[in-house]
Structure 1
């Protein structure tokens, strides 16, 4: 079974949101155009594009990526000293602005190992 080929069309189709101005209310159309007229100030966009364009075509690279990138968001913690809470650490995925791109890279590595290399990826799940 080709995991990547059967999963990605569903993911990509589900993530697309179309806003048809003919069917949308005036407030939705106004919000759409007002957001598009603002300048894009995402300084991480080149890094996001670079991560999204990384092609996984090496077995050792794919294994390293699957080992380095956790399967789920690390849990939140309270740091305590002598019974008093010093500070709270939120879930790490909320702190990482590149979380979606990194998880996508891990997914591509898993799909490469399963589809192209025919390996069992259950150890990474």
Structure 2
């Protein structure tokens, strides 16, 4: 079993477990209220990103080039050589951050496992 197959299987199990946990009970359990489902406006887009099957080397290269390996917004603001403040990575605020980074990882695994290419240029 190669790395990408193992990762995809683990991700599908995680996604399955997460969708089963979407029913959240509100209030005290002795209240006997019915579970309330959370409405996720981005769920269709999440599903599309998770279902993209990377089977083309050109697509895999394009994805690895477009999606950065690290958050590009993290900065130290300096003035005259002294650090004034630090801007934390804002990528975690993106609601689709995990899906996009997982798509990049699947593209890297495809290039490394299936195509046998060196992916160190994208790290």
Q: Do they superpose with TM above 0.5?
A: yes
State the distance in 1 between where 2:70 and 2:109 align.
17
- Could you tell me the TM-score, scaled by structure 2's length? 0.67
1:62 touches 1:110 (CA, 8 Å); kept in 2? yes
Change in Cα spacing, 1:54 to 1:5, as seen in structure 2 (3 Å) is: closer
Aligned pair partner of 1:56 in 54, 58, 79: 54
- Could you tell me the TM-score, scaled by structure 1's length? 0.66
1:69 aligns with 2:94: no
Which of 1 and 2 has higher RCO (CA within 8 Å, sep 6+)?
1
State the distance in 2 between where 1:71 and 1:40 align.
31
Segments of structure 1 that go 5 or more residues without pairing to the other structure are: 18-31
1:58-99 Cα deviation digits (max 9, x unpaired): 110000000111112234347799xxx8xx854231231100
**RMSD (CA atoms):** 3.2
User: Displacement of 1:43 after TM fit?
Assistant: 0.3
Change in Cα spacing, 1:71 to 1:6, as seen in structure 2 (3 Å) is: same
2:24 touches 2:38 (CA, 8 Å); kept in 1? no
State the distance in 2 between where 1:33 and 1:79 align.
41
Residue of structure 2 in register with 1:43 after alignment:
41
Structure 1 runs, 4 residues or longer, greater than 3 Å off:
5-17, 77-81
Residue of structure 1 in register with 2:25 after alignment:
34
1:3 touches 1:115 (CA, 8 Å); kept in 2? yes
SS, match of residue 38 in structure 2: coil
